[in-house]
């Protein structure tokens, strides 16, 4: 992720790619106001999130063209309207709390949603569905366990999920966190989805659908919704990230991102 103030060869490469689209920047390797303005213009022209940050999706679009599954600025505007919060707040949450991308690009899992499979949740969901997990704990401890862990990361998490789906399809879908906002699948019913499979299809559809799941998640929790409305970033981070939120400074990152986006929106207005 490149932002204003950054410098170096990656910024120079960004400027060169922007110039291929006709922006006429000096390739000095400094992410200054002119570069940020060019990034915002490109993002607006290509239906991306207009935040002036050259993340993976913006840099990929500069080289490979538009991605129909990518999150759009209009998606964030709609989320802000639905939640009745200011747009800068939603943009701050998208910047800090999302993984930046909701899908894998390239490789054997191209266009599959990003996930993290949780084996200890699988154990609970099997019990929820009336299936004893004991035999699976013995035969598949990497997939069903009382303790979290066993992560292999990246697109390979889908390998774990596929094997878990062979044990119990619905429980496995419910036992992964999904998409850019990493919401657990077992929330599907509470969030108004018809089934675990309907949840899966929504997560596969687009980052806009993944954002919709996030919006439903916030709407379903009055306390976290109120924290977002108040811009109480400490309370929001504690509820969204859990008690260890301070370790990663989520609250201060959210506050800083909200200030930055608020100022940028005022300038744009």
pLDDT digits (tens, 9 = 90+) for 189-223: 999 999 999 999 999 999 999 999 999 999 999 99
Q: What percent of the chain has pLDDT over 90?
A: 92
Q: What is the mean pLDDT of residues 26-51?
A: 96
Task: Name the one residue in this structure whose structure tokens are 């929001």.
Answer: 236
Q: What is the mean pLDDT of the chain?
A: 95
Q: At what angle do helices 196-205 and 207-219 cross, to 10 degrees?
A: 130
Q: Determine contact, residues 18/42, Cβ cutoff 8 Å.
A: yes
For residue 9, what are its two tokens?
A: 């060869």
Q: What is the mean pLDDT of residues 51-58?
A: 94
Q: Determine contact, residues 144/137, Cβ cutoff 8 Å.
A: yes
The domains of the chain are located at 1-67
- Tell me the pLDDT tens digit for each residue of 106-161: 889 999 999 999 999 999 999 999 999 999 999 999 999 999 999 999 999 999 99
CATH fold, domain 1-67, is Muramoyl-pentapeptide Carboxypeptidase; domain 1 (1.10.101)
Q: For residue 269, name the pLDDT band (cuts at 50, 70, 90).
A: very low
CA distance 45 to 139: 53
Q: What is the mean pLDDT of residues 42-56?
A: 95
Q: Determine contact, residues 33/4, Cβ cutoff 8 Å.
A: yes
| Comparison of pLDDT for 269 and 128, the residue scoring more | 128
């Amino acid at each position: 992720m490149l932002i204003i103030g950054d410098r170096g060869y990656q910024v120079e490469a960004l400027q060169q790619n922007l110039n291929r689209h006709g922006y006429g920047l000096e390739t000095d390797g400094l992410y200054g106001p002119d570069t940020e303005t060019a990034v915002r213009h490109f993002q607006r022209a290509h239906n991306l999130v207009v935040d002036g940050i050259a993340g993976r999706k913006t840099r990929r679009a500069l080289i490979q063209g538009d991605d129909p599954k990518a999150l759009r600025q209009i998606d964030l505007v709609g989320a802000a309207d639905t939640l009745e919060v200011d747009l800068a707040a939603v943009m701050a949450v998208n910047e800090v709390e999302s993984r930046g991308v909701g899908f894998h690009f390239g490789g054997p899992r191209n266009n599959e949603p990003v996930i993290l499979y949780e084996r200890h949740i699988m154990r609970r969901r099997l019990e929820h569905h009336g299936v004893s997990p004991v035999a699976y704990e013995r035969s598949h401890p990497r997939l069903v366990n009382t303790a979290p862990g066993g992560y292999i990361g990246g697109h390979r998490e889908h390998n774990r999920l596929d094997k878990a789906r062979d044990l119990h399809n619905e429980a496995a879908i419910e036992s992964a966190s999904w998409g850019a906002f990493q919401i657990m699948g077992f929330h599907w019913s509470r969030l108004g989805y018809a089934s675990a499979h309907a949840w899966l299809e929504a997560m596969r559809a687009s980052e806009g659908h993944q954002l919709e799941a996030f919006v439903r998640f916030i709407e379903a929790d009055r306390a976290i919704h109120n924290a977002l409305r108040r811009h109480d970033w400490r309370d929001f981070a504690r509820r969204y990230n859990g008690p260890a939120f301070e370790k990663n400074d989520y609250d201060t990152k959210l506050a800083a991102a909200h200030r930055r986006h608020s100022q940028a929106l005022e300038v744009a207005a």
